[in-house]
Amino acid sequence: MDTTEDSLRKALAEKQSAVEGQGNAVRALKAAKVAKAEIDAAIGTLNALKLEKSAIEQQLQAAVSGNGPDSSVNREAFRQAVVNTLERRLFYIPSFKIYRGVAGLYDYGPPGCAVKSNVLAFWRQHFVLEESMLEVDCPCVTPEVVLKASGHVDKFTDLMVKDEKTGTCYRADHLLKDFCNEKLQKDLSITAEKAAELKHVLAVLDDLPTEELGAKIKEYGIVAPDTKNPLSDPYPFNLMFQTSIGPSGLLPGYMRPETAQGIFVNFKDLYYYNGNKLPFAAAQIGQAFTNEISPRQGLLRVREFTLAEIEHFVDPEDKSHPKYPEVADLEFLMFPRDKQMSGQSAKRIRLGEAVSKERLRFRQHLANEMAHYAADCWDAEIECSYGWIECVGIADRSAYDLRAHSEKSGVPLVAHEKFSEPIEMEKLVIAPVKRELGLAFKGNQKMVVEALEAMNEKEAMEMKASLETKGEVEFYVCTLEKNVCIKKNMVTISKEKKKEYQRVFTPSVIEPSFGIGRIIYCLFEHSFYMRPSKAGDEQLNVFRFPPVVAPIKCTVFPLVQNQQYEEVAKVISRSLTAAGISHKIDITGTSIGKRYARTDELGVPFAITVDSTSSVTIRERDSKDQIRVNVEEAASVVKSVTDGQRTWDDVWSKFPHHSSGSTGLNFGQQKNTIHCDSHILAS
Amino acid sequence: MDTTEDSLRKALAEKQSAVEGQGNAVRALKAAKVAKAEIDAAIGTLNALKLEKSAIEQQLQAAVSGNGPDSSVNREAFRQAVVNTLERRLFYIPSFKIYRGVAGLYDYGPPGCAVKSNVLAFWRQHFVLEESMLEVDCPCVTPEVVLKASGHVDKFTDLMVKDEKTGTCYRADHLLKDFCNEKLQKDLSITAEKAAELKHVLAVLDDLPTEELGAKIKEYGIVAPDTKNPLSDPYPFNLMFQTSIGPSGLLPGYMRPETAQGIFVNFKDLYYYNGNKLPFAAAQIGQAFTNEISPRQGLLRVREFTLAEIEHFVDPEDKSHPKYPEVADLEFLMFPRDKQMSGQSAKRIRLGEAVSKERLRFRQHLANEMAHYAADCWDAEIECSYGWIECVGIADRSAYDLRAHSEKSGVPLVAHEKFSEPIEMEKLVIAPVKRELGLAFKGNQKMVVEALEAMNEKEAMEMKASLETKGEVEFYVCTLEKNVCIKKNMVTISKEKKKEYQRVFTPSVIEPSFGIGRIIYCLFEHSFYMRPSKAGDEQLNVFRFPPVVAPIKCTVFPLVQNQQYEEVAKVISRSLTAAGISHKIDITGTSIGKRYARTDELGVPFAITVDSTSSVTIRERDSKDQIRVNVEEAASVVKSVTDGQRTWDDVWSKFPHHSSGSTGLNFGQQKNTIHCDSHILAS
């Protein structure tokens, strides 16, 4: 709870009652027909109180909706600027736009598609290749049996309410969230206690059981936002897209809600592929599908998305990772469950250099918020204009999935650890005496034998004790649904020492699951800024993408429309292609300033401008600094800075500088760190 | 028609009737009770004839099923060897195997996934980047309206027959094809004419209309293969996976059957992105789905697959491609429609050097075989053990899709060509006189007006002539489903001269659509070979993948288990990682020969063996040749050959050779082209 806001609400309530009190006083004076001067004085006091109240209201309004640079108004304006640029430059496009689109489905247009493909290539290099993960690629269409075993058929749901008259569907938690936020931001008359209650509801929203959610909706009188009709009670809606495999209509299937299941069902083969050794990680990049009830938040909540998932298969008794010591000292913003429930904010638990990001934090899931398969879950959240957004879900799935698939398929999904030498272990031995059991139970003998053999150690040892003291014991047989009487001669129970050569166990799974679309959207927002044009008459948009993810690494412009310059541009283009650098030639007659602005708005880090047939300039997007290089070298210089072999500062210090408006050489006029590379001068 | 087979069938029929004739003769002699010697002689002749018949039968059997290296028996044995290796080494895995799989769904395991990702990266570099295509990435989930407009809801079907008792579904054409092939290969008694008929059915199979297909199935008495029950008539089954978008159940959707539609509906934005200029190409890589009736042929006919599609948007009056002159002289195996219908084989139309592949041909679709959207279609087919397989479909889709989406969405999907100066054109003007039409047709006026305005030039000019001569004319109005009488005062029809400033037209689309999974499967088969082990006691499998697609570029082996060698291996591994070369360390104690065999079977082109702390050997997979390089250089040498900067022959000629079994240097002992690189010797 924000203490400023809290004290303002209290001050407002006091001032309100002061106003009411003074109002009553004025009315009393009027009724008593006292002297006008006295009445006027009382009205003066009333008006002063009203002014004070109004001032507090303004402060409160500012406190709840914000006026600062991080206020919700400014956040929305910023988001609108980003989204307008993204849509206009076709980073993304609402899918099937000419048919008025489908909520929650988006296309990546050419630059967005290039960014995505760069992000995925980087991800694959960073995780799959550098950590030798086993990458697999499984279909999206998945038969029901797999998702029944994984629990998705029964539990992959969101709570939905329906407009009782029109049947329109809403996500129950979204309606409650909107109500609380609206009330907190727009209704200044609520008490500090009420505000605290609403904030608590928001904090525990993801944790509310169905009945409590329904009760809150009723209590607050929430109705359908479009029609104001009453709403149904919340009920679970399964979020998987259902389909049918094959022509018979008898094999139901779903579009996978995560890529992970494809990895789990292959565990046995992957374990074998890894030389029957733990730990190992398997990874998959691919589409996943969630039939959201009412998608909103643009690219963040969509019905189809690219996941990049890793499943670390580990020994449950040793979950250490060989690289852990390398990162153990890094520190992050952490937001554990207890801090959230008590309305506190995220804590920086330690602070390292490399990954210290103000806008990245790790938040623990609340108990009811976790997916059905998770033993613990932390989200890596990135802050953007929508608030803190889950971009990577990191779940400890323990042995949940492998056990579920083992049971359903009958194929053991286990790992083996050979002991360096055999270990002597006590082992329970239950030996039913079939002859006696047959005489006693006839046709039911088999069921009784199975039930006896299925006893765990505790049950068996209790039976042994009872048989030894009493000679017989009542025993419940599930499959017969009744008790039978087991006598001492029907079973022998003992503990024997046995040599064990190996340990057999179900591995635990630690899963980091990356929502690629969300990461890309946050990248868009974090990379976006505006700066004034040269003439100062307009604001220009820039995406400061690092070269590794920039959709195009370089543009090539002939300074003016001119056959010779265009030839040079083509030569440079060919050498860029040979070097594998994605680029674009722009030979339109538009002014060079406009062309730079266009390319900045696409986030292209470098522009080569052809202003002579022997040398050209290379401009860096954010500093707008330009260097001069000879034509033959242009591609290799751009390659070296986009590949990360050297920084812009490196090349800036090695090549002659160019200031726009001049084609001459300018050494050392714009920056301090100048070092002339002799072979340039010699060329 | 194979003439050997043809003449053998004729010879067999003649011999058969000779045998029958002689059999009759023997029986006649026996009935006539002639001398035993005479009967024996006749029996001798009969046996000789039977022997001759049997010899012809054997020849015919060999001719139809083949015994040669390319016979169906050998093809199947070869395929089995490839598939066993692919499955054992997890190139691919039947999806959901622990649940006994789902027909037509496969996973790529780690090496298969790496090959796929390399093929796609190469495709993207070759097409998207080098030709500056506009790449997009659209969802798989597609609302019905899009696929209704594209024709898929109505026409994307295969003909299915059902077992009339069990309801099991079969593809009608597959049953007919199997019947014909089986008959031709196993029934030697059929006449040459019957054989010719069956071969004709096979040739035109893809071209048969529903009724003819049904009639043939009836005529040949084809029954359900599993139960021998009678079959239903063939009927169309829609091959799209259906689903429902959102929670209401009111918005039907499908999993896209091709990625192309996502591009077409974005035409307007992409045209704008390209500066409102034609031609341009858009591309998309992604999953597509076909709910096959009864998939078979392993990786070749699957229910979910990766497509890489290109849509070239061109001016229908100028379909030239700027790169065409560069490839115009290449020559291919071409198999046009008329050659197929007449049972001839593919013709090499010209022969160039670069793309002359014996196992690649271009086959034109038969008229009924073409997809509903295609004006013409040629498949690039690759030969593998299943025969000639469509791997790239190249369709002239003309304006079909853009027109369909324009009509359905009401958004014009057109291109504009500005004339350099305005052109005077005659334009048809149809001006219905609404007052007169209203008086005559009352409530139907609107329909009549629309029908009049929709006339094309020919119809309008005929009406004009009739009205001028007769004063009135019968006119059929579709929407009213009847003729109405149009009088002279109801419409004026004229041709006016108008200045046109631009041409507005619907672009044509040329689409090459690459089936990535099929290309990869053919790559597997074409790369596979077996060679004897060193001891000669077993056959070892090798995939001769080119480095660009090889799943792993390099393995690193310490020759023996040894701390020092393992350290060197790790140093080399780190430099390979830094160079972006995917690789694997194998520190198991297995013999070096076994480890080479393992790595050859994965198609890894190079192996670095650490046999000292200063220098190591690099072995090339196919030649098994080894060179010696110093430790610091190993990664860069491997990088240069995997990146294609130099060939193995280049490095072979530059580095000292190593013959296995020795750790000494061997110059010039294994090959002729030796050139010592001085800095190696100096190190």
pLDDT, tens digit, 9 for 90 and up, residues A666-681? 443 333 333 333 333 3
A286 pairs with which residues across the strands? A307
Subunit contact A143:B246, Cβ cutoff 8 A: no
Separation of alpha carbons A568 and A581, rounded Å: 17
Min Cα–Cα distance to chain B from A245, Å:
7
Tell whether domain A535-682 is in CATH 3.30.200.20: no
Note the pLDDT tens digit of each residue in A314-343. 999 888 888 777 777 777 777 777 777 777
Which CATH architecture group holds B3-65? Orthogonal Bundle (1.10)
Note the pLDDT tens digit of each residue in B53-108. 999 888 888 877 765 666 777 888 999 999 999 999 999 999 999 999 999 999 99
pLDDT above 80 for B21: yes
Subunit contact B242:A237, Cβ cutoff 8 A: no
Cβ atoms within 10 Å, residue B633 = 20
Range ranked top by mean pLDDT from A417-421, A632-636, B482-486: A632-636
Cβ atoms within 10 Å, residue B8 = 22
Min Cα–Cα distance to chain B from A603, Å:
16
- Best CA proximity match to B427, nearest among B496, B484, B492: B496
Which CATH architecture group holds B533-682? 3-Layer(aba) Sandwich (3.40)
**Residues B282 and B134 sit within 8 Å (Cβ to Cβ):** yes
**And the tokens for B272?**
């704008």
Separation of alpha carbons A100 and A626, rounded Å: 44
Note the pLDDT tens digit of each residue in B607-617. 999 999 999 99
pLDDT at residue A143, rounded to an integer: 97
pLDDT above 50 for A349: yes
pLDDT at residue A348, rounded to an integer: 63
- Best CA proximity match to B306, nearest among B284, B275, B281: B284
pLDDT at residue A297, rounded to an integer: 80
| Choices 3.40.640.10, 1.20.1440.230, 3.30.420.10, 3.30.40.230: CATH for A157-238 | 3.30.40.230
Kind and range of the H or E element at A193? helix A192-204
Subunit contact A237:B244, Cβ cutoff 8 A: no
Length of chain A: 683
pLDDT above 90 for B361: no
Q: Is the ipTM of this complex over 0.90?
A: no
Separation of alpha carbons A112 and A59, rounded Å: 42
Name the superfamily (CATH) of residues A107-144+240-414+510-528. Bira Bifunctional Protein; Domain 2 (3.30.930.10)
B280 pairs with which residues across the strands? B313
Subunit contact A273:B584, Cβ cutoff 8 A: no
A427 pairs with which residues across the strands? A496
pLDDT above 70 for A664: no
pLDDT at residue B350, rounded to an integer: 56
Residues contacting residue B204 through CB under 8 Å, at least 6 positions apart: B341, B366
- Best CA proximity match to A205, nearest among A171, A156, A232, A251: A171
The helices-and-strands tally (H runs, E runs) of chain B is 23, 29
**And the tokens for B321?**
């491609």
Q: What DSSP string describes B225-275?
A: TTT---BPPPEEEE-SPEEEESTTS-EEEEE-S-SHHHHHTTHHHHHHHTT
- Residue A538, classified by CB atoms within 10 Å of its CB into exposed (0-12), middle (13-18) or buried (19+), is exposed
**Least confidently predicted of A66-80, A211-225, B299-313, B510-524:** A66-80
Separation of alpha carbons A70 and A65, rounded Å: 10
pLDDT at residue B660, rounded to an integer: 63
pLDDT at residue A303, rounded to an integer: 96
**Residues B150 and B261 sit within 8 Å (Cβ to Cβ):** yes
DSSP character for B347? E
pLDDT at residue B679, rounded to an integer: 35
B531 pairs with which residues across the strands? B540
**And the tokens for B604?**
């890894």
**And the tokens for A150?**
């994984």
Separation of alpha carbons B674 and B663, rounded Å: 19
A105 touches chain B (CB under 8 A): yes
Nearest CB among B136, B142, B577 relative to A108 is that of B136
pLDDT above 60 for A663: no
Residues on chain A touching B248 (C-beta within 8 angstroms):
167-169
Nearest CB among A99, A132, A247 relative to B237 is that of A247
**Residues A519 and A382 sit within 8 Å (Cβ to Cβ):** yes
Note the pLDDT tens digit of each residue in A2-42. 568 888 888 888 999 999 999 999 999 999 999 899 999 99
Average pLDDT over residues B171-197: 90
Average pLDDT over residues B463-479: 90
Question: Which single residue is written with the structure tokens 């190139």?
Answer: B91
- Best CA proximity match to B605, nearest among B544, B562, B558, B649: B544
Min Cα–Cα distance to chain A from B563, Å:
19
pLDDT at residue A321, rounded to an integer: 82
Subunit contact B137:A103, Cβ cutoff 8 A: no
pLDDT at residue B674, rounded to an integer: 31
The fold of A422-505 is 3.30.720
Res. A73 pLDDT band, cuts 50 70 90: confident
Domain ranges of chain A: 3-65, 107-144+240-414+510-528, 157-238, 422-505, 535-682
pLDDT at residue B601, rounded to an integer: 96
pLDDT at residue A672, rounded to an integer: 34
pLDDT above 50 for A446: yes
Min Cα–Cα distance to chain A from B95, Å:
7
Cβ atoms within 10 Å, residue B272 = 11
pLDDT at residue B682, rounded to an integer: 33
CA of residue B487 relative to chain centroid, distance: 58
CA angle A98, A100, A106 (to 5 degrees): 85
B198 to B1, B62, B108, B190: CA distances (angstroms):
11, 18, 38, 10
Residues on chain A touching B304 (C-beta within 8 angstroms):
139-141
Kind and range of the H or E element at B19? helix B3-31
The fold of B421-503 is 3.30.720
pLDDT above 90 for B510: yes
Separation of alpha carbons B469 and A528, rounded Å: 71
pLDDT at residue B667, rounded to an integer: 41
Q: Which of A86, A108, A141, A552 to mutate: most B Cβ within 10 Å?
A: A141
**And the tokens for B466?**
């009739």
What single-letter amino acid sits at B423?
Answer: I
Nearest CB among A275, A291, A409 relative to B98 is that of A409
pLDDT at residue B67, rounded to an integer: 58
Q: What is the 3-state secondary structure (H, E, C) of A344-404?
A: CCCEECCCCCCCCCCCEEEEECCCCCCCCCCCEEEEEEEEECCEEEEEEEEEEEECHHHHH
**Residues A119 and A549 sit within 8 Å (Cβ to Cβ):** yes
Residues on chain A touching B90 (C-beta within 8 angstroms):
269-270, 273
Note the pLDDT tens digit of each residue in B545-584. 999 999 999 999 999 888 999 999 999 999 998 888 999 9
**Least confidently predicted of A145-149, B366-370, B440-444:** B366-370
Average pLDDT over residues A68-84: 84
Q: Which sign, positive or negative, has the C-alpha torsion A137, A105, A125, A578?
A: positive
Q: For chain B, what is the mean pLDDT? A: 88
A140 touches chain B (CB under 8 A): yes
A585 pairs with which residues across the strands? A556
pLDDT at residue A481, rounded to an integer: 81
A125 touches chain B (CB under 8 A): yes
pLDDT above 80 for B345: no
Separation of alpha carbons A479 and A669, rounded Å: 91
Separation of alpha carbons A266 and A270, rounded Å: 6
B335 touches chain A (CB under 8 A): no
Who has greater pLDDT, A350 or A49?
A49
Percentage of residues of chain A with pLDDT beyond 90: 63
Nearest CB among B145, B289, B411 relative to A141 is that of B289
- Best CA proximity match to B245, nearest among A93, A169, A92, A177: A169
Nearest CB among B132, B247, B273 relative to A160 is that of B247
pLDDT at residue B2, rounded to an integer: 58
The bridge status of strand B491-505 relative to strand A169-171 is unpaired
pLDDT at residue B40, rounded to an integer: 92
Residues on chain B touching A580 (C-beta within 8 angstroms):
125, 129
Residues on chain A touching B112 (C-beta within 8 angstroms):
137
pLDDT above 60 for B320: yes
Query: Directed axis angle between helix B172-186 and helix B210-219, to 10°?
Result: 40
